[in-house]
Amino acid sequence: MSLRNKMNGTRSVLLKNTLMLYILQFSTYFFSFIVVPYETRVLGPVIFGLVGAATAAMVYFQNVIDFGFILSGTADVARHKEDKAYLSRLFTAVTLAKLLLALLCALVLLGLCQIISVWGDHTGFYFLFFLSVFLGSLMPDYLYRGLEQMEVITVRAVCIKAFFTVMIFVLLRDSSQYWLIPVLNIIGNGVAFGCVYLHLKRKMGITFCRIPFGAVGKTLRDSMPFFFSRIATTVYTATNTVVLNIISGTGAVTGYYTSADKLITTAKSGMSPISDSMYPYMVKNRDFKLVIKTLKLLMPLILAGCVVVGIFARPLCVWFLGAEYGEAAHVLRVMLPVVAVILPSYILGFPTLSPMGLAKHANYSTIVGSVFYVCAILVLFATQHVTMITLGALTSATEILIFLYRLIVVIHYRDRMKPVEQKEETP
């Protein structure tokens, strides 16, 4: 097969995987569009803020349990996709590592519930959320991403979301039933993991196997750089909600911030399928022209959307979230720069820097962003200026800083963006 035919074939796979991930994201939009307005109205700002705070806190534990395997595992699988024995050993090692990390996280959560009074008042609720996150983290998505079989991830996730949506409308009737949210996720993720494991074993020949314990340690070491990158990201994406919950207690402020942040997160999630599908493709093919074409095509649309949302933020929040959520518009406006820079930031991250041999800078950028965020939030605490507006603005500033760091690195090392065709034809 000629090089050109190989490139055409890999691009077809890329397009299919991108389509699958966008079907997944469309389903997320669709179900969120239905569920979120119902939850905000039934639960009210106070209880919705409690749910949002628990969700944000669980992001830390989710990233610890995952430990960056979604990136390191994907690259590892992409390099050994034909070796089923190797993939079985990797699957076993990653799963055991996640079990050990989950045990550690459970002990930490128990300790925090003893220290933080607002968490201690809802210890059972937080542990229900933790169980749902743990089951979700067991999903071997890194296998399917590395094998470029995104359709499996899509089908599974859509089924879970559909189940959750239907059950919320059937069972959630008043704010006292807020515990149903993690319970329904537990049921959905538990059934999904069982189905995924059977698929791996029966259809793909990948199953649990006997491995030396040292393999678990090696898996953790290999994934550690990616872990630090993802946990650093969590610092500036999830901390705001947790901080507001701790300082405001059961107030509605957390609910306002959570609702605005959910809208921003939904917009961000619309960008992730592009970078997620590009990552394994770029690792193999180094097709940097695709990066430029993608940004030229999508950025004008994204920027125009940000302007429109900024102008109509308040009526949008009232219409979508409910009459009690008009104050969320202020947070939404100051966080719109996140949406404006997130796509180029994602694409210039691992999909671009990793094939350039500069993956460390993708990690460094998030670490720099986290350090900036921590220093800034300490200043806000010292000056007593911690509000939902200042925290939202801080998140925007952090995301802009990360984007600029990655952009500067790519420009500085642009000579490494040699097309794969030229590389293979060089004697």
Beta carbons of 97 and 25 less than 8 angstroms apart: no
Q: CA nearest 240: which of 218, 217, 264?
A: 264
Residue with tokens 């008042």: 121
Tell me the pLDDT tens digit for each residue of 159-172: 888 999 999 999 99
Q: CA nearest 224: which of 350, 73, 401, 108?
A: 73
Quote the pLDDT of residue 392: 92
Assign 3-state DSSP to the chain and report helix, strand, coil percentages, each to 5. 85, 0, 15
Tell me the pLDDT tens digit for each residue of 259-314: 888 888 878 877 777 777 777 777 777 778 888 888 888 899 999 999 999 999 99
pLDDT tens, the chain, 427 aa long = 454 555 455 556 667 777 777 787 778 778 877 888 899 899 988 898 888 888 888 988 998 998 888 888 888 888 888 888 889 999 999 999 999 999 999 999 999 999 988 888 889 999 999 999 999 888 888 888 888 777 888 888 888 889 999 999 999 999 889 999 999 999 988 888 888 888 888 888 888 888 888 888 888 888 887 787 777 777 777 788 888 888 876 567 888 888 888 888 878 877 777 777 777 777 777 778 888 888 888 899 999 999 999 999 999 999 888 888 888 899 999 999 999 999 999 888 888 888 888 878 888 898 899 999 999 999 998 898 888 899 999 999 999 999 999 999 989 888 877 654 444 444 3
Beta carbons of 278 and 351 less than 8 angstroms apart: yes
CA 117 vs CA 45, 72, 111, 126, 221: distances in Å: 20, 37, 11, 13, 35
Q: How many CA atoms lie within 13 A of 128 on its CB side?
A: 14
Tell me the pLDDT tens digit for each residue of 336-385: 999 999 999 988 888 888 888 887 888 889 889 999 999 999 999 889 88
* Nearest-angstrom CA–CA distance, 148 and 390: 41
Q: CA nearest 262: which of 28, 20, 23?
A: 28
pTM score, whole prediction: 0.75
Cα 75 → chain centroid: 17
Residue with tokens 């090392």: 413
Nearest-10 crossing angle of helices 180-203, 3-66: 140
Residues with Cβ within 8 Å of residue 304, at least 6 apart in sequence: none
